């Protein structure tokens, strides 16, 4: 991204505007009430890791949660759990491909163009189709994540408290090892 | 013996040297093997009577050669091909001559930028006359090169660079002994113009201001002194009718862009088609598509010249699929409005009146809280070239289906910085898409269309092989049956296509060229 020269007023307005676009952003660092340790148990028992990844554990099917506590507000995370269709990030749009023989393959759309569509299925495999070879490509309106709207309030609050503690490094363990003498 | 050898050498030199006379340019369509102007000829039909590649064998089309320009940025130049030599410009002041059969480089030219001037910027191609090539540069110069060597012959500054305010991107057009060019920068507070330069000396012969001054005809369409920064870029090449000796040129948006409060009035000749005498630069007539534009709907789209039977009478027409979503048909002798019909989603005009003036819908102006409007800032059509097939009698062009939300904000003029009064953003709750559309220019009715997943930036080429070549934003270069719209062939090029295809013939073999990324891709059937 190139650097831009703005007057101070312009810059303030720009920042205010950008902030206004992101109601999901975290605005303070106050800890969320609840028991993070119990929340972790809720996370594990509810099968969240079947779709989500924290650090090196879990699936890459859904959004990674390693840094979720640093980037998203508790309100946004709560809504994402009980009503995940309220805001679906572009990179997690669901798509169902119906093949010529009637099979339905649903996954997260990785890419799509005029002639082809590529998706990631819940088993974390890429599935790739030429549209000519399919019956139909259906763009899912709802999130592929089920709504956890029957979770007991206490469990939900503990889960939020746990997720709020997740502020890890997305690239942890992926550092480049430099050879001695190489700068 | 020695004398005979010398004579042979002289003969060979005379044959190999490029000598593109004005007569050859006038009759460019008689040289189906060549591509002599940016549009392929003066009328911009972009149709070639070449049928070696056709509907039955296009499935075998493959990449024949690739030339890497090494230049970053949007590659929007359409090459010229003259008797087996391809001449093309690239971004950032570069230009090349290639063997059109192999892609091997013959020479390279790099524009020398003065200290402090930016060296990056898009360019759309050359014009040729005699053995001279003409191009513009990102710092608003016109340069003439020796077509045989790439050597610089002359260089003329069109306007003071002014910290990047004035730029130039288009391919020039040569008419008689003049090189005619336009300017860019209406988003930075310029006053636009069209210039003619003497091809031999590089001296300016005339200038047509696209924004009239106070007291001049049309000057009363500008509030106070707003004309001084009134915009009106001329960033796309015009078309020309040699019989009428008339040059047709689309004019861009008014300035400040996207904000009308400070320039109340129709703001002539912005968003208009102007018809000029190419000998003098005098205005013959104009037609304004979008009076008092506040959405950046330049009229820079190709003004295609067609001779058709209009309501039982032979007429000389100029047609344009305008950025504002309407397809227009005008009489090109008089500028009379004959027809205007929407070809894409639009929610800014209820209709056009009998003279072609839009009747505006309420609440279509940019506003502080945001106004959703179709088309978006990029328009339903743009610089990508359409084509017209005289056999199917259809007009083929790329359509963008994309809306924007326009937020207004009073602008402040600072030299070299954007002079925009609004910002726009895409409507996030609905996806964009695009179409390749085949339209009857006599009725404005769609005969067929093919849906693209994303809104395109690539134009079309028509051939007597019954084919329409086109490209999409995902990087597919495609061939379609001109009559049915059936997709017959495609190749994924790996980069968004932002150019228009062209075709030529060397040694009896037909080639089709379409740039992608920073490379020139040239296709042919297997030998």
At residue B14 the predicted structure's pLDDT band, cuts being 50, 70 and 90, is very low
Hey, is the C-beta of A140 within 8 angstroms of any chain B C-beta? Answer: no
Both tokens of B320, joined, read 């344009």
Hey, is the C-beta of A115 within 8 angstroms of any chain B C-beta? Answer: yes
Residue A13 has pLDDT above 80, yes or no: no
CA-based nearest distance A2→chain B, Å: 13
Q: Which of chain B's residues have a Cβ under 8 Å away from the Cβ of A2?
A: none
Provide mean pLDDT across the span B68-89: 97
A 10 A CB-CB count for B466 gives 22
At residue B8 the predicted structure's pLDDT band, cuts being 50, 70 and 90, is very low
> Considering only alpha carbons, which residue of chain A is nearest residue B410?
A10
- Tell me whether residues A115 and B454 touch, CB distance under 8 A: no
Residue A63 has pLDDT above 90, yes or no: yes
Residue A3 has pLDDT above 70, yes or no: no
Residue B2, domain member (yes or no): no
Handedness of CA B516, B517, B522, B525 (dihedral sign): negative
Q: Among A154-158, A177-181, B99-103, B351-355, which is the least confidently predicted range? A: A177-181
Provide mean pLDDT across the span B487-504: 98
Q: Which of chain A's residues have a Cβ under 8 Å away from the Cβ of B453?
A: 112-114
Q: Which of chain A's residues have a Cβ under 8 Å away from the Cβ of B475?
A: 113
Q: Across chain B, what does the average pLDDT equal?
A: 94
Residue B11, domain member (yes or no): no
Cα within 13 Å of Cα(A86), Cβ side: 15
Q: Where are the beta strands (DSSP E) in B70-177?
A: 80-82, 85-89, 94-99, 105-110, 127-129, 132-136, 141-146, 152-157, 173-175
For residue B256, whether the previous peptide bond is cis, meaning omega lies within 30 degrees of 0, is: yes
Both tokens of A60, joined, read 């890459």
For residue B375, whether the previous peptide bond is cis, meaning omega lies within 30 degrees of 0, is: yes
Provide mean pLDDT across the span A36-51: 95
In the residue annotation, B277 being an active-site residue is answered as no
CA-based nearest distance A113→chain B, Å: 5
CATH number at residue B369: 2.140.10.10
Hey, is the C-beta of A113 within 8 angstroms of any chain B C-beta? Answer: yes
Output the pLDDT for position B202: 98
Hey, is the C-beta of A4 within 8 angstroms of any chain B C-beta? Answer: no
Both tokens of A161, joined, read 């408290």
Hey, is the C-beta of B345 within 8 angstroms of any chain A C-beta? Answer: no
Give the pLDDT confidence of B30-63 residue by residue, as tens digits. Answer: 999 999 999 999 999 999 999 999 999 999 999 9
What torsion, rounded to 10 degrees, do the Cα atoms B244, B250, B256, B258 define?
140
CA angle (B133, B139, B144) in 5-degree steps: 15
Residue B15 has pLDDT above 50, yes or no: no
Interface residue of B72, B398, B453, B492 to substitute, partner A, most A CBs within 10 Å: B453
Residue B456, domain member (yes or no): yes
Residue A23 has pLDDT above 90, yes or no: no
Hey, is the C-beta of B451 within 8 angstroms of any chain A C-beta? Answer: yes
- Tell me whether residues A113 and B474 touch, CB distance under 8 A: yes
Question: Which domain range does residue B364 map to?
Answer: 18-524
Q: Which of B164, B163, B154 is nearest to B197 (CA)?
A: B154
CA angle (B12, B13, B16) in 5-degree steps: 85
A157 CB contacts (<8 Å, ≥6 apart)?
A: A32, A33, A34, A39
Task: Measure Cα distances from B5 to B1, B12, B18, B151, B321 in Å.
Answer: 6, 10, 22, 28, 56
Residue B479, domain member (yes or no): yes
Q: Which of chain A's residues have a Cβ under 8 Å away from the Cβ of B452?
A: 114
Q: Which of chain B's residues have a Cβ under 8 Å away from the Cβ of A113?
A: 453-454, 472, 474-476
Interface residue of A16, A110, A114 to substitute, partner B, most B CBs within 10 Å: A114
Q: What is the CATH architecture of A8-88+148-164? A: Orthogonal Bundle (1.10)
Q: Among B119-128, B174-183, B241-250, B436-445, which is the least confidently predicted range? A: B119-128
Hey, is the C-beta of A56 within 8 angstroms of any chain B C-beta? Answer: no
> Considering only alpha carbons, which residue of chain B is nearest residue A132?
B487
Give the pLDDT confidence of B405-448 residue by residue, as tens digits. Answer: 999 989 999 888 889 988 888 887 788 999 999 999 999 999 99
Q: Which of B123, B100, B127, B136 is nearest to B42 (CA)?
A: B127
CA-based nearest distance A45→chain B, Å: 35
Output the pLDDT for position A28: 67
At residue B116 the predicted structure's pLDDT band, cuts being 50, 70 and 90, is confident
- Distance in angstroms (rounded) separating the CA atoms of residues B187 and B260: 13
CA-based nearest distance B86→chain A, Å: 31
Provide the b/e sequence for A31-42 (b: ≥16 CB within 10 Å).
ebebebebbbeb
Q: Which of chain B's residues have a Cβ under 8 Å away from the Cβ of A112?
A: 453
Count residue pairs from A and B with Cβ separation < 8 A: 17
Hey, is the C-beta of A3 within 8 angstroms of any chain B C-beta? Answer: no
Provide mean pLDDT across the span B218-244: 97
Residue A172 has pLDDT above 80, yes or no: no
Q: Which of chain A's residues have a Cβ under 8 Å away from the Cβ of B454?
A: 113-114
What torsion, rounded to 10 degrees, do the Cα atoms A64, A65, A70, A71 define?
50
Count how many domains chain B has. Answer: 1
Secondary structure of chain B: what % helix, strand, coil (to 5)?
A: 10, 40, 50
> Considering only alpha carbons, which residue of chain B is nearest residue A5?
B417
The residue from B41, B296, B298, B472 that is catalytic is B296
CB B186 within 8 A of CB B169: no
Provide mean pLDDT across the span B68-78: 95
Q: Which of chain A's residues have a Cβ under 8 Å away from the Cβ of B476?
A: 113-115
Output the pLDDT for position A168: 84
In sequence order, the β-bridge partners of residue B401 are B433
Output the pLDDT for position B6: 47
A 10 A CB-CB count for B367 gives 13
- Tell me whether residues B476 and A114 touch, CB distance under 8 A: yes
Q: Which of chain A's residues have a Cβ under 8 Å away from the Cβ of B472?
A: 113-114
Give the pLDDT confidence of B448-494 residue by residue, as tens digits. Answer: 999 999 999 999 999 999 999 999 999 999 999 999 999 999 999 99
Q: How far is CA B27 from the centre of its chain?
A: 20
> Considering only alpha carbons, which residue of chain A is nearest residue B451?
A114
CA angle (B186, B191, B193) in 5-degree steps: 95
- Tell me whether residues B476 and A113 touch, CB distance under 8 A: yes
Output the pLDDT for position A179: 56
- Distance in angstroms (rounded) separating the CA atoms of residues A168 and A55: 7
DSSP line for B56-100 = TTGGG-EEEEEEE----S---PPPEEETTEEEEE-GGGEEEEEET
Q: Which of chain A's residues have a Cβ under 8 Å away from the Cβ of B474?
A: 113-114
SS3 letters across A80-147: HHHCHHHCCCHHHCEEEEEECCCCEEEEEEEEECCCEEEEECCCCCEEEEEHHHEEEEEECCCCCCCC
Give the pLDDT confidence of B157-177 residue by residue, as tens digits. Answer: 999 877 778 999 999 999 999
Q: What are phi and psi of A167, to 5 degrees?
A: -135, 35
> What is the value of ipTM here, to two decimals?
0.81
> Considering only alpha carbons, which residue of chain B is nearest residue A4?
B417
pTM value is: 0.90
Q: Identify the three-state secondary structure at position B29.
A: helix
> Considering only alpha carbons, which residue of chain A is nearest residue B489?
A115
Hey, is the C-beta of A114 within 8 angstroms of any chain B C-beta? Answer: yes
- Distance in angstroms (rounded) separating the CA atoms of residues B501 and B78: 7
CA-based nearest distance B433→chain A, Å: 10
Residue B357, domain member (yes or no): yes
Provide mean pLDDT across the span A114-136: 95
Output the pLDDT for position A180: 57
- How many helices (H) and strands (E) chain A has is answered by 5, 7
Question: How many residues are recorded in chain B?
Answer: 527
Q: Among A12-16, B78-82, B318-322, B334-338, which is the least confidently predicted range? A: A12-16
- Distance in angstroms (rounded) separating the CA atoms of residues B504 and B515: 15
Listed by start position, the domains of chain A span 8-88+148-164, 90-139
Q: Which of B445, B461, B301 is nearest to B388 (CA)?
A: B461
Of A5, A112, A114, Cβ closest to residue B472 = A114
> Considering only alpha carbons, which residue of chain A is nearest residue B487?
A115
Q: Which of B71, B70, B68, B104 is nearest to B86 (CA)?
A: B104
Interface residue of B455, B474, B486 to substitute, partner A, most A CBs within 10 Å: B474
Q: What is the CATH architecture of A90-139? A: Roll (2.30)
> Considering only alpha carbons, which residue of chain B is nearest residue A112?
B453
Provide mean pLDDT across the span B274-293: 98
Would you give the DSSP letter of residue B22? H
- Tell me whether residues B454 and A113 touch, CB distance under 8 A: yes
């Amino acid at each position: 991204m190139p650097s831009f020269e703005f007057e101070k007023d312009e810059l303030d307005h720009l920042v205010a505007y950008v902030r206004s676009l992101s109601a999901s952003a975290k605005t303070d660092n106050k800890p969320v009430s609840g028991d993070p340790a119990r929340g972790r148990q809720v996370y594990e028992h509810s099968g969240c890791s079947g779709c989500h990844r924290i650090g090196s554990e879990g699936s890459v099917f859904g959004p990674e949660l390693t840094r979720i506590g640093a980037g998203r507000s508790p309100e946004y995370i709560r809504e994402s759990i009980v009503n995940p269709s309220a805001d679906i990030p572009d990179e997690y749009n669901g798509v169902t491909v119906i093949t010529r023989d009637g099979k339905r393959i649903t996954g997260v759309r990785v890419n799509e163009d005029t002639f082809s569509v590529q998706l990631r299925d819940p088993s974390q495999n890429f599935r790739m189709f030429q549209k000519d070879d399919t019956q139909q490509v259906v763009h899912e309106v709802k999130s592929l994540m089920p709504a956890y709207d029957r979770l007991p309030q206490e469990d939900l609050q503990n889960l939020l408290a746990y997720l709020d503690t997740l502020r890890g490094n997305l690239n942890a363990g992926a550092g480049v090892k430099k050879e001695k003498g190489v700068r | 013996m020695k004398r005979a050898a010398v004579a042979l050498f002289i003969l060979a030199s005379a044959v190999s040297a490029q000598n593109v006379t004005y007569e050859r340019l006038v009759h460019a369509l008689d040289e189906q093997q060549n591509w002599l102007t940016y549009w392929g000829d003066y009328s911009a039909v972009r149709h070639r009577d070449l049928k070696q590649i056709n509907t039955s064998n296009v499935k075998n089309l493959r990449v024949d050669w690739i030339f890497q320009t090494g230049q970053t940025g949007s590659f929007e130049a359409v090459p010229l091909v003259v008797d087996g030599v391809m001449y093309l410009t690239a971004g950032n002041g570069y230009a090349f001559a290639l063997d059109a059969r192999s892609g091997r480089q013959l020479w390279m030219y790099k524009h020398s930028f003065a200290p402090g001037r930016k060296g990056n910027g898009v360019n759309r191609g050359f014009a040729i006359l005699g053995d001279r090539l003409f191009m513009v540069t990102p710092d608003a110069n016109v340069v003439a090169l020796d077509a045989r060597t790439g050597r610089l012959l002359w260089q003329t500054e069109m306007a003071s660079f002014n910290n990047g305010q004035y730029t130039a991107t288009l391919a020039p057009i040569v008419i008689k002994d003049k090189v005619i060019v336009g300017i860019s920068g209406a988003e930075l507070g310029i006053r636009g113009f069209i210039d003619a330069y003497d091809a031999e000396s590089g001296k300016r012969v005339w200038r047509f201001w696209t924004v009239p001054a106070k007291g001049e005809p049309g000057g009363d369409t500008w509030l106070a002194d707003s004309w001084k920064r009134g915009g009106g870029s001329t960033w796309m090449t015009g078309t020309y009718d040699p019989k009428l000796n008339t040059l047709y040129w689309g004019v861009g948006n008014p300035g400040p862009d996207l904000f009308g409060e400070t320039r109340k009035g129709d703001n002539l000749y912005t968003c208009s088609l102007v018809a000029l005498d190419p000998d003098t630069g005098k205005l013959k007539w104009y037609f304004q598509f979008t009076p008092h534009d506040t959405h950046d709907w330049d009229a820079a789209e190709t003004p295609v010249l067609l001779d058709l039977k209009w309501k039982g009478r032979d007429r000389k027409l100029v047609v344009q699929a305008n950025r504002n979503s309407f397809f227009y048909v005008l009489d090109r002798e008089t500028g009379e409005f004959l027809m205007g019909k929407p070809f894409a989603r639009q929610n800014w005009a209820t209709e056009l009146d009998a003279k072609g003036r839009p009747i505006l819908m309420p609440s279509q102006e940019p506003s502080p809280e945001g106004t959703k409007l179709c088309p978006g800032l990029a328009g339903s059509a743009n610089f990508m070239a359409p084509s017209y097939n005289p056999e199917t009698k259809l007009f083929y062009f790329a359509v963008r289906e994309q809306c924007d939300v326009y937020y207004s904000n009073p602008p402040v003029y600072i030299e070299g910085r954007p002079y925009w009064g609004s910002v726009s953003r895409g409507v996030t709750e609905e996806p964009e898409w695009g179409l390749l559309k085949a339209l009857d220019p006599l009725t404005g009715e769609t005969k067929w269309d093919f849906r693209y997943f994303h809104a395109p930036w690539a134009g079309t080429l028509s051939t007597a092989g019954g084919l329409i070549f086109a490209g999409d934003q995902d990087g597919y270069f495609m061939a379609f049956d001109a009559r049915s719209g059936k997709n017959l062939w495609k190749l994924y090029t790996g980069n968004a296509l932002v150019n228009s295809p062209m075709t030529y013939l060397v040694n009896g073999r037909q080639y089709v060229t379409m740039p992608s990324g920073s490379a020139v891709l040239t296709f042919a059937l297997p030998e």
